[in-house]
Amino acid sequence: MFGFDGVWLAFSLTLLAGLATGVGSVLAFFTSSTNTKFLSWALGFSAGVMIYVSMVEIFVKAKESLVSSQGEIAGNWFTVVGFFAGMILIALIDRLIPKQGNPHELKKVEDMKETKSTASGDKSLLKMGTFTALAITIHNFPEGIATFTSALQDPGLGVAIAVAIAIHNIPEGIAVSVPIYFSTGNKKKAFRWSFLSGLSEPLGAIVAYLFLMPFLTDLMFGIIFAAVAGIMVFISLDELLPAAKKYDEAHTSIYGLIAGMAVMALSLLLFI
């Protein structure tokens, strides 16, 4: 159904999005301060891209596919149920994650400056970093499926989603590396944990390729896309926008949100 080049491109985009957690870890080690204004704008931009593309493009494609295979009434119902099922899935993942490891508690680069005398060997910080890495690993798995399946159907759409997910993976990489570095004083170990937590994204792509592609009928594709739309909207509202507002300066995150929507809208118009 899909050519080798298309599959390879989809996997490559998913891999690059996942590896952005490692970029966050590197930034934590080699920059002296967090540009909070840019971070707020970037997270807002990522949310804008995700929300716009989910509601205007992915949801619509899911609906077209399901209506085509199931008829008008059943197709619409399948679309709505799939959309909220995606939201419920990612919400349940959130609820199952221990509070101390929740990746929504983002860290700033300045946190790395805390003196080792107060943090080195702190087992609770090591536990926090480990839990955060585990939480991000679980979060990134469905994101990998979303990026991969989207890129398979529409490479331009896949690029947009990969960029948006990569942006929000960068501060998550910082969230993993900071507490692990605090507790061990080992940059390599902090980077390794951060890097590995992002690899669940291409793992999600591999699972999608091996177990979903053989059954990728119009019905299966529609349900997956509807769920992907729900997952991305939930991530934007529950994770990206609250994190962006945390670092906000003079509505910067909202300007980023609007910019993300505008860029996504323009890119979709150019590829019509």
The string of pLDDT tens digits covering residues 209-228 is 888 777 778 888 889 889 98
- What is the Cα–Cα distance from 52 to 171, expressed in whole angstroms? 22
Mean per-residue pLDDT, 118-145: 71
- What is the Cα–Cα distance from 11 to 173, expressed in whole angstroms? 20
Q: Which pLDDT score is estimated for 116?
A: 45
Task: Categorize the per-residue pLDDT at 257 as very low, low, confident or very high, splitting at 50, 70 and 90.
Answer: very high
Task: Categorize the per-residue pLDDT at 68 as very low, low, confident or very high, splitting at 50, 70 and 90.
Answer: very high
Task: Categorize the per-residue pLDDT at 119 as very low, low, confident or very high, splitting at 50, 70 and 90.
Answer: very low
Has 140 been labeled as part of a binding site?
Answer: yes
Domain range holding 85? 4-270
Has 139 been labeled as part of a binding site?
Answer: no
Q: Which pLDDT score is estimated for 70?
A: 93
In the chain the first and final C-alpha atoms are separated, in Å, by 22
Domain count, the chain: 1
Whether the model pTM is above 0.85: no
DSSP state of 101: G
Residue among 231, 197, 211 at smallest CA distance from 89: 231
Question: Residues 6 or more apart from 215 whose CB is under 8 A from it?
Answer: none
Has 57 been labeled as part of a binding site?
Answer: no
